[in-house]
Chains A and B, each alone.
Chain A
Amino acid sequence: MRISREVAHHKIPSAAILVAMLIYLFAQSAANARDIHYGAIDDPQLHQCDQQYWRGLIQESTECYREILASNTTAAIKAESAWALNDLQQANRWFQQAMRETPDDVGTRTRWGDLYADSHQDGEAMDLYSEGLALEPNHAFAKLGAARVLAGGFDDAANILLEPLLSDATIDDGVRVGAWLLVARVALENSNQAEALAAMATAEEIINRHDWPPLQLYALRAAADLLQNKSESRWTTLSLEYNPHFGDIYAVPAHFYVITRRYRDAIDMYQKAVDIEPGLASAHEELGVNLLRDNQMTRARKHLETAHEVDPFSPIAVNTLRLLDSFTNFRLITDPQLAADSGEVPITLRLHKDEADVIAPYAIKLTRDSIDEFTRRYNFELSEGVVIEMYPDHEDFAVRTAGMPGIGILGATFGYVVAMDSPTARPAEHFQWGTTLWHEMAHVFTLEASDHLVPRWFSEGVSVFEEWRSGPNPGVRIPMSVYNAMKDDRFLPIAGLDEGFVRPTYDEQVIVSYMQAGLVCQFIDQRYGEKKLSELLYAYKDGLQTPEAIELVLEISPAQFDREFAAFVATEHGVILDNLEEWHETQIEISQLIDAADWQGTIESANRLLELLPVYTEPDSPYLALSLAEDELGNADAATAALENFWRNGGYDPDSLKELGRRFREDERTDDAIAVLMSSNLVDPFDEDLHGMLGELLLVRGRAEEALQEFTVALALDPHDKAVAHYRLATAHHDLGDKSRTQNHLLQALDVAPNYRPAQRLLLEVMQVDATN
């Protein structure tokens, strides 16, 4: 939904007409959030209204703005008044008229751009700022507006625009205040308290000099206090004295709770914000989004709907409400085997109804296993049930996570709620959903055990390390791009490792940081013992930062830690790092050898690479080339051995695992076949053949209960050959001694295929047993 610069009317979908009318009525009833403009508009009557509004005199200010609209003042001032009354359409029309009357008025054009920015239409806003700057290249308010939009999109170009506004003392004070407040906010987000405080001090001096409302400054100061663990800030008190209805005094600090993943604290703060300023759409929206992160669906919907009513232009509210509507296509599944008085942590899955029957058995087991493993390992018991959501459409997951599509992550943990891509959201060869779930479950523990105070690097490090150590498909998997970064000495010091996640400076730094964090945790585990990871977690819970936590728990300085870690990396990965060039050259050579069908050459080259790095199981793993070449030369056993090594080192390519399972079965290595096919399930559970094969192997081993699960999943996949699917289920039920279900599935099999001999024989056997009883 967008407002238009060019047309006076607004296209509203029919379903939204009623909502639009409510918005209109609402807009007519009270003044609403419109940022302090620090002298950008110089009009005495508007100034009087704004003063009332900023002091929290809502009724008076509303009357005041309405009087302006009824007066014969300029279109630009009427636009400001309509905007203050939250009638954005009317404001847009007045700005359009103002531009027709005074097209060279860059100040008004900039305010028009601010209106667009306020209604989430950054592109239109930037166009207007650019048009203004074309007319008046040094227009400082236009530059500030553009800088704000760019900063909101994490665009470095914001700095280019901001720099002169900060350094040139001759620039309008209103612009400088805006610029310094923007700097302060970004500095707080970057955990740079000193820079933030200095920026706020400069802004405060100017604000005081002009007697401008200090509300935004107070909100940032309260946020700074919060980041220093001062939950009761005097700035909050001062703000409420100045304006008891300024919701941002809570909403701005709440944002910093969100970015430090303290979602429940954020919820409390946003609730306070909307309590004192019920029309603050942004706070309702954030409240709704964070309530969803806490699995409070009904309450979340209410606030998102309010946000949408007040601010129909917010894509986050619209996207999230649409996602909530789509939940009718999802099923909630609880652990069916969990007795009410078991004392176990309840597990709830939210799965798409088309996938639920296939994913649920594995997801529940994996989640339960992870809880058992991490409870023991990190000496922490979860106090609430865990909710796991899986989305077959990645963009739904993105909206669930950030309110907007377009994020590249696979899973997100908000505490006791985990959201992630479902196995069908990505190609199986690129996505181990089981490992991702394991990774996210580790986050549940690190977040909750530390009261959400764990730094990003440590939480990610533990999750990556647990993937490698205890995950469903264990093995140290490091992409070659990360080895390249290691070779270039791009690992960060431990004290600054978080920077690699939150402020990456090169393309692949985030993935490099993930791997470094995982290696750091592996190093701590190996060098100092497994308890040290949980001790670090509790140090973070006590409010320590990384340098102090390292010193307290490991009794070593961060600098010394960095030296020891570097030595560990050199020991563990020195061979590949010293031969990285040879690795890359040989990889290219292998591709050429395969193209030329030079299988002996392929074998020699693959073996050379595996000497350098035997644990490399990414999609271009030498094991796969080796297996192919051995097969081509008729060396089936050697080919199987290569595949087996691939799997045992953490390889997860689903076709390769399935092939290995087949070979194990043919070689009568039943237990190995079961193991490899089970790990394949955690990569590609939608492979019907796999479940059938695995179920039959399990039956051979007398594991009828597990076989039954596999055959049940196979039937849920709507198999082509339903007679076989039902027959297999009958055999599992038969082994479990369930005559009724055996007979039922045999009838279903024979109804499709009456002459199906194995089913006929089993039916006769079952009925004969029945007759003798």
Chain B
Amino acid sequence: MVVTSSLEHDLKPLLILCGLMSVLLPAISKAELYVVVIEGLAGDGVYAEQFATQVAAVTEASKTLTTDNRVYVFPARSVTREDVLDHFTTLGTQITASDRLAVYLIGHGSYDDYEYKFNIAGPDLTGDDLAQALSELPGGNQLVVNTSSASGALADALMNDERMLILATRSGAERHATKFGNYFAAALGDPGADLDKNQVISAGEAYRFAERQVDDYFERNGQLATEHSRIEGDRTDRFSLARLGASRPDRDDDVLAELIARREALNGQLDELRLSRDAMSAGDYQETLLQKLLELAQTENEIEAREGELGREN
């Protein structure tokens, strides 16, 4: 984060950094992840089961990246608009500008051509409620995932330069109960969603996984698609939502630190190589790629070996 300002004038290095961060952010960032999960009213048993499953999956996934006390869940049976808004007020006293916030809305939504409402007991949570609550929090590294029907209507209310949105529907006009949430929640624990195989599921990866599954669902069932998800914000590939497998323990070891630094550098060089691809001959690109990948693979071997040594020493 510190180096960002010095690179702002040059897109290419920034992209390299972004690629690097996508691999390493969970390990090196000091920013904390805060998660708020709001479960809406289901209406019937089938949806109640689905929503509960999604909430559990999202909660479990979030806890792979942050401490339990930073994951706050509002179950459908007890959530009220007032509780949610109070929580955001409290959160404003805890969260810092460098922290990240992920807000999940899992349930049914509605849109009357004027206002989006997320259906909970008592007064519904409106788009304006959310917009105001989020805008009062420090920093802008916020992701809102809304899997409800008509959630596309939230885009206008919540969109800003920093905030990232993942919405199950294109607009408020798509009012059918959605499939998207099931697949998005599943993505957070599915290695198939981890396209870059860094053992971390980013918001962008989870979105693409769910989007594809929704498309497949309607195609395989021969149905007209009643929902078209949307994603807003250009940093969703860098917003990590879940880690697959166990995290590696932090080690205070110079050798290991050097190896990790080498790995980071190689990942950056690979990103740079990809950006240069069009300017290179296919042969040159393949040859350079092979060399870098071999170095990276060898470095990863050395990291594993060093971690093994340290484990044995302990």
Contacts and interface: CB of A to CB of B under 8 A. Distances in A.
Interface of A: 427-428, 720-724, 743, 746-747, 750-757, 759-761, 763-764, 767
A755 B27 CA distance: 15
Given A757-B300, A767-B294, 15 more contacts: A428-B220, A720-B192, A743-B290, A747-B289, A747-B290, A751-B274, A753-B196, A754-B196, A754-B266, A755-B198, A755-B296, A760-B296, A760-B297, A763-B293, A764-B298
Contacts of A764: 294, 297-298, 301
A223 to B, nearest CB: 44
A752 B196 contact: yes
Nearest to A757: B300
Enumerate the 8 nearest inter-chain pairs by beta-carbon distance, A residue then B residue, closest first.
Answer: A760-B297, A756-B197, A753-B197, A753-B196, A750-B293, A721-B192, A720-B212, A755-B198
Contacts of A751: 274, 289
Interface in B275-293: 286, 289-290, 292-293
27 contacts: A427-B221, A720-B193, A720-B195, A720-B212, A723-B195, A723-B196, A724-B192, A747-B289, A747-B290, A747-B293, A750-B289, A750-B293, A751-B289, A753-B198, A754-B196, A754-B270, A755-B196, A755-B197, A756-B197, A757-B197, A757-B300, A759-B197, A760-B297, A760-B300, A763-B293, A764-B294, A764-B298
Given A427-B222, A723-B197, A764-B298, A754 B293 contact: yes
A720 B23 contact: no
B267 interface: yes
B208 interface: yes
A427 B221 CA distance: 7
B293 A760 contact: yes
B195 A753 contact: yes
A720 B293 contact: no
A752 B237 CA distance: 14
Contacts of B290: 743, 747
A428 B292 CA distance: 45
Nearest to A764: B297
A747 B197 contact: no
A518 B92 CA distance: 75
B interface SS class: helix
Contacts of B297: 760-761, 763-764
Contact of B209 (A720, A743, A746): A720
B296 A754 contact: yes
Nearest to A750: B293
Interface string B143-157: 000000000000000
B23 A755 contact: yes
Interface of B: 23, 192-193, 195-198, 208-209, 212, 220-222, 266-267, 270, 274, 286, 289-290, 292-294, 296-298, 300-301
B8 to A, nearest CB: 25
A649 B297 CA distance: 49
A755 B23 CA distance: 8
Contacts of A723: 195-197
Contact of A752 (B195, B212, B286): B195
A763 B296 CA distance: 11
A756 B293 CA distance: 10
A561 to B, nearest CB: 44
B197 A763 contact: no
Contacts of B298: 764
A427 B198 CA distance: 37
Contacts of B266: 754
Contacts of A756: 196-197
A747 B286 contact: yes
Nearest to A751: B289
A377 to B, nearest CB: 36
Contacts of B208: 720
A763 B294 contact: yes
Nearest to A724: B192
A757 B198 CA distance: 9
A721 B292 CA distance: 22
A746 B220 CA distance: 31
Contacts of B220: 428
A653 to B, nearest CB: 14
Contacts of A752: 195-196
Nearest to B269: A754
B50 to A, nearest CB: 18
B294 A721 contact: no
A751 B293 CA distance: 8
Contacts of A747: 286, 289-290, 293
B299 to A, nearest CB: 10
A750 B289 CA distance: 9
Nearest to A687: B220
Nearest to A718: B212
A420 to B, nearest CB: 19
Contacts of A763: 293-294, 297
B274 A755 contact: no
A755 B267 contact: yes
Contacts of A722: 195
A764 B220 CA distance: 40
Contacts of B23: 755
A283 to B, nearest CB: 40
A753 B266 CA distance: 13
Contacts of A427: 221-222
A763 B290 CA distance: 9
Contacts of A754: 196, 266-267, 270, 292-293, 296
A696 to B, nearest CB: 14
